[in-house]
Chain A
């Protein structure tokens, strides 16, 4: 007599869920337009419009000065600048390195949190802190902590570990952008971790159990079961982070060197140059950054779609 009870209870719940799913699917196009319209309109006008105006200016379209013909002159000039590749390489180096290191750390953190500390609220809380702190604040903190005259250097000096503040290793305005990388990694690890964690949580445990019972080592289970499962989300998250760091201005502006500059800082410098002729070049660099960011986000979306389709298939 104990068995039918729960069964009876399950049925209405499933029905309800199914009905909700049905309702969800029945959302009509007009309704969808109404719901998404305002947000999409704002984004397309403010972002798309700005991008279009920027593109026109970068192509030399300045009707107020009587220049109405379009040319790729500024893009060509930017591309021909020997400085362009240095800047591009530096920007790419910073974005790629910080993304790669953040990805590695995130996978490790996510695995640990999922398998060893799923109930640890404190850890979840600590991990959420970086998400809420603006990049600007982190950059300034790093500056105060890591410069040769910063807090760490002074503490080490006081403790007698280094002889003078000048003996402190160069971590800010340094050739390798160590402080910039640190800021990005600190900020992006929680972001990617939570993306990976979501997938891990929804992962079926059967595969892992089957793997274990067939004698797969933890390493083998990670390589052949966990990694393929989290890969699309991880990749997607990485592309988002890459896109962000590629286009971000404030951190390299504060912690970078006078030369070479990252692309966003270079663009700003040209745009705010007292010589107005430098402006279209600044915008042209901005357009190149935007193109890179859009391509990166496109890949991110591609990976997300792939993982969604895969879920649907299974």
Chain B
């Protein structure tokens, strides 16, 4: 009886709040950013629905295990991971909700995002913020780093909070391919010499798209695309990229008549010995997969001599999120030295920390500098000396469309 009664009470209160909140003059504006202390106070007991790409068992384990446990213990927040195949689905969903006028009570509280999805969200006003500067742990982040300040050429401006960074690496089995090609030009020669032994996920898959960008960079200087290029230059470089990829088609897995649809599929082709290379937009994934028993122990990674693309990944809060305070507390905890360190451990995830080591307390600096890396992960020095910036999202979308029209469909 008691329970029923209080249930009824909550319902009444909810209805009242709903009614009151629909009177605009009485309710605070939706976009008002709470200060940190009130965010922490309000977040207690909230359930934060975190929509994210769910294709990596290691990430899922880190989120559902360590993070969920710590957030529950420290802040009484229930973290609920909602895995999706591509966060673009959620961007679509938010578009629809925006169009339908659903400005509150949305089911997405936090999303893992970057690049063109962030650009779309920002342009269409799908995000809550700027909230990132409110988070105390921002002090560990170097906001002057161009890869943090701009997300694929789009200014971040506090609308998303960094979580980690990643760099593209090639994956090979040293037992099978002792001497892998270390430049794009060598890779092209290798593919022609070994027909049917190479493939890449079809863009717009995230990893496949990144692979194609390396070929695009191969046609000219990567720095050129950061700014000050013209349409004709872009078209010329893009067209020669498609030409190279089209010429390679007959030498690809299944003669390029079809492509793996995801990096997960690419990995299984690689371990099933159908192809000889995989790659990942994550420098620690190969080690992770060895530890999980998915890859053999002899698998190693490398970066091209000319460098590989690196980026920062972020979390953002949708405009209509129901538990914005909880989401902010989660975003802040993600940046704490302990969470960043845990995430960097090779047997957890092995993700690059996004916090700048020099800004951390001294005892953490020590820990970060001497952390173990795992057998197939390159060291920071090797990786950082071979980093290329991502091109602006426009180029990325341009290449994805162009690939589809000129490589996939030209048969």
Contact = CB atoms under 8 A, between A and B. Distances in A.
B305 interface: no
B68 to A, nearest CB: 28
Contacts, number: 49
A20 interface: no
Contact of B408 (A64, A148, A173, A259): A259
A259 B409 contact: yes
Contact of A148 (B120, B274, B409): B274
A175 B257 CA distance: 8
Interface size, A (range): 10 to 19
Contacts of B60: none
B309 interface: no
B274 A274 contact: no
Contact of B88 (A64, A170, A259, A274): A274
Contacts of A170: 254
B294 to A, nearest CB: 14
B99 interface: yes
Interface string A244-275: 00000000000001110000000000011111
Interface in B107-151: 116-117, 120, 124
A47 interface: no
Contacts of A276: 95, 120, 124
A166 interface: yes
A54 interface: no
Given A149-B272, A149-B274, A258-B202, A274 B257 contact: no
Given A149-B272, A258-B258, A272 B92 contact: yes
Given A271-B92, A272-B92, A258 B274 contact: no
Interface string A139-165: 000000000110000000000000001
B115 to A, nearest CB: 9
Interface size, B (range): 20 to 34
Nearest to A253: B261
A64 B272 contact: no
B268 A149 contact: yes
Contacts of A83: 409
B86 interface: yes
Interface in A78-122: 83
B264 interface: no
Interface of B: 86, 88-89, 91-92, 95, 98-99, 116-117, 120, 124, 196, 202, 204, 254, 257-259, 261, 268-269, 272-274, 397, 401, 408-409, 411
The 7 closest A-B pairs by CB, nearest first: A149-B272, A257-B258, A173-B258, A258-B202, A258-B259, A259-B408, A64-B99
Interface of A: 62, 64, 83, 148-149, 165-166, 170, 173, 175, 257-259, 271-276
11 contacts: A148-B272, A148-B274, A149-B269, A165-B273, A166-B196, A258-B259, A258-B408, A272-B89, A274-B116, A275-B397, A276-B120
Given A62-B99, A148-B274, A258-B408, 19 more contacts: A83-B409, A148-B272, A149-B268, A149-B269, A149-B274, A165-B272, A165-B273, A165-B274, A170-B254, A258-B258, A258-B261, A259-B409, A259-B411, A272-B86, A272-B89, A273-B204, A274-B204, A274-B397, A276-B120
